[in-house]
Structure 1
Amino acid sequence: MAGIQRTQHVAEHFTMGPAVLFCPADRPERYAKAAQRADAVILDLEDAVAPDAKEQARKNLIEQPLDPERTIVRINAAGTPDFALDLDAVAQTAYRTVMLAKAESAEQLRAIADGGVQPRASIRVIALCETALGVLRAAELAQEPNVVGLMWGAEDLVASLGGTASRDEAGHYRAIARQARAQVLLAAGAFGKAAIDAVYLDIPDTAGLTLEVRDAVASGFTATACIHPSQVPVIRDGYSPSEAQLGQARELLAAAAAAGNGVFRFHGAMVDGPVLRHAEQVLRRAR
C-alpha cells in the first residue's frame, strides 16, 4: 500500500494537460503555435516524421526550445536505430519528459534511465501502449519508477493484431479497442500514474470528440491527446466542470459535512464515500 501511495503522489503532480497536442518535430515553424494553443505539446520524432527527415527533426528539437514543463518528446521504439539517437538529442535539451512509442517491457523503460548519458537518469517517461504486448503488460510498465503516465493508441494496436480499423462504420471503437483503453486506464489508476486517452482522428467531427472526451473524464483519464489545434478547446471544455456541476458538488460536500456520518440521503439518493470522492474530483478538475 505504501508503494502505491507514493506513485499516486507522483501522478498528482503531473500537471500537463488536459489538451495535449501532437506536433511533428520536423516542422519547427509549428512549435510555438502548438505551445500557444495547447496545454502541453508532444514533439513527435516517431510516426509523424519520415525516416529521411528524422535527423533534421532531432536538430530542430535542440535548436528550437519550448517550455520543458509543458513539452513531451515522443521517441522512437526501443530496438530501432533511432531510439538511442533520439535519447541523445533529448539529453542536449532541457526536456525531461519523453513518450516511448510502442512500449512493451520494463527493460525498455530502464534503458532510458541507464543509457550511459547522465541527464537521462532524470527523464520521466510516458509509456505508449499501442501493441498487443504493450497493452497486456500495461500494469508492469506502470510500476516502473521513471514512468509518470500511460497512453494507449488504437490504430497501431489494431495493426499489431492484423486488423484494419479500430472503429466500426458508426465511428465507435470496436470491442478490442475498448478493452485496451480500459486496461491501460486501470493499470495507470492502480499505480497512481496519469492516463492519457488516444487521439480522435476525425478532425471535423467535434460532436464525436465531445462525446469521447466526456466519457474519458467520467472514466478517470487525466488528459486527451489531439492532432489538430481546433480540437484543443473541445477537450478543455470537456475536462472543465460546468457551473452546475460545481454547484452540485459543493452542495453535496456541504451536506456531508453537516450530516457528520458515513451514509446519508441527499435529494432522495443515498450518498456514501465513493459518491463524495466523485464530488471532490469535480472540484479538483476545476482547480
Structure 2
Amino acid sequence: MTAKVAPAGVWFITPGHASECFPTAYQCGADVALVDLEDSVPAVAKSSARAAACGFFAASAVTGTTLGVRISSPATLDGVRDLAAIAAFPRKPRIVLIPKVESPRDIAIVAGVLDTPGYTPLLYALIESPYAMEVLPSIVRADRIAGVLFGTADYAAATGSTMAWEAMLHARSTLVTSAAAAGIPAIDSPFFDLDDLDGLRREAEQVKSLGFAGKSCVHPRQLSTVTEVFGPTDEEIAAARAIVEAAETAGGRIVRVGHRMIGPPMVAAARSLLARAGTPREEHA
C-alpha cells in the first residue's frame, strides 16, 4: 500500500521531448505536473525524452506541485526502457502513471522494478479500454495502486464511439464508482478542444458532480478553468465548516443545518472538503 495520500485536483501533462515547456509545468500552479514519455512523444524522440525527463525531476525550488511521469505500457519495449531509465534517475518522480492498464499485473510490474526501501512512488492506472472496464474491480484493488485516470480518447477509439458526454457517461460512472469502493481517487481525462473553454468548464463541472477528484489538462490555457471548478469556493468551505461544527455540537447525532438534515456521510464529505482546502481543523472545530 502507498504511504501518502494521493494528490487530487488539477493535473498538467507536458511532452517529455519538449524540455522548453518544463518551466511552464513547474510554474503553472497545477497540483500534479506529469512529464509524458508515451503518446505525445514520437517514436524517434523516445530516447531523448527519457534523458530530458531525468532533468525534469532535477529541478529545484518546485513548490506546491507534485511531479510525476507517464511511462509507456510496461508490456512494451518502450515501457521497459522507461522503467530502467527511471530506476537510474538521481531524483525520481513522486507519481508514475501507467497507461493501457488491463490487469493488476501491470501495476505489480512497475512496483517490482521501481520500489526500493527508500522509494515507493504513487502508482496511478490509466483506464482506457473496454476490457479494463470489465476487470476494473481487480485493478482498483491492486496492492500498490494509488488512483486511476480515465482516458477518453483511447476508450472512444476502442468502442467506436465519440467522446461526447453521453457516450462516455457509463464508463465515467463505472470508473468513479469502482474507485470510490476501493477508497482511491479518480482523475478525469483531458478535454481536447483547446479553444472551447466553455465546454471545458461544463465537462469539469459534470465530472466533479459524478465524484471525480480532479481533471487533467494538456494546455496551460485550460488550467485556470479546471482550478476554478475543482478548488473549493468560499461558500463551500463555509458550508462545510457549519456542517462539521453542528455535528460536533450534536455529538455525532443527525442534525439540521439550514434546510438540510445532516448525517454521517455529509459530515465525512464536509471534513474531506476542508482537508482538501487546507483548512486547519481548529478553524472549524
TM-score (norm 2): 0.85
Cα displacement (A) at 1:206: 2.0
- Is the counterpart of residue 191 in structure 1 residue 182 in structure 2? yes
CA 220–116 in structure 1, closer or farther in 2 if over 3 Å, else same:
closer
Residues 206-239 of structure 1: CA distance to partner in whole angstroms, max 9, x if unpaired? 2222222223333332221111111111111112
- Is the counterpart of residue 165 in structure 1 residue 162 in structure 2? yes
Contact 2:242–2:257 (CA under 8 A) maintained in structure 1: no
Query: Map of 1:55-204 to 2, 5 A cutoff?
Result: 55-65=47-57, 66=59, 70-93=66-89, 94-96=91-93, 97-115=95-113, 122-161=120-159, 163-167=160-164, 173-175=165-167, 177-204=168-195
Cα displacement (A) at 1:122: 2.8
Residues 89-124 of structure 1: CA distance to partner in whole angstroms, max 9, x if unpaired? 111222242111111111222111334996897343
Distance 1:99 1:116 in 2: 13
Cα displacement (A) at 1:160: 1.5
Cα displacement (A) at 1:137: 2.0
Q: Please state whether the residue corresponding to 1:114 is helix, strand or coil.
A: helix
Cα displacement (A) at 1:36: 0.8
Counterpart residue type for residue 154 of structure 1:
T
Distance 2:270 2:173 in 1: 22
Residue matched to 1:35: 26
TM-score (norm 1): 0.85
Unmatched runs of 5 consecutive residues or more in structure 1: 1-6, 168-172
- One of 53, 56, 67 as aligned partner of 2:45: 53
Residue matched to 1:257: 248
Distance 1:191 1:261 in 2: 25
Contact 1:24–1:45 (CA under 8 A) maintained in structure 2: yes
Q: Please state whether the residue corresponding to 1:122 is helix, strand or coil.
A: coil
Contact 1:11–1:148 (CA under 8 A) maintained in structure 2: no
Which range moves more in the overlay, 254-263 or 272-281? 254-263
Q: Please state whether the residue corresponding to 2:38 is helix, strand or coil.
A: coil
Residue matched to 1:44: 36
Q: Please state whether the residue corresponding to 1:41 is helix, strand or coil.
A: strand
Count matched residues: 271
Distance 1:276 1:115 in 2: 40
Which range moves more in the overlay, 125-134 or 73-82? 73-82
Distance 1:121 1:136 in 2: 32
Cα displacement (A) at 1:62: 1.9
Residues 145-204 of structure 1: CA distance to partner in whole angstroms, max 9, x if unpaired? 22111111111012122x15221xxxxx134x2111122212222222221111111222
Residue matched to 1:3: none
Contact 2:74–2:110 (CA under 8 A) maintained in structure 1: no
- One of 222, 225, 231 as aligned partner of 2:213: 222
- Is the counterpart of residue 274 in structure 1 residue 272 in structure 2? no
> RMSD between aligned alpha carbons?
2.5
CA 43–60 in structure 1, closer or farther in 2 if over 3 Å, else same:
same
Residues 36-81 of structure 1: CA distance to partner in whole angstroms, max 9, x if unpaired? 1022211111110111111111111123434597122111123222
Which range moves more in the overlay, 265-274 or 62-71? 62-71
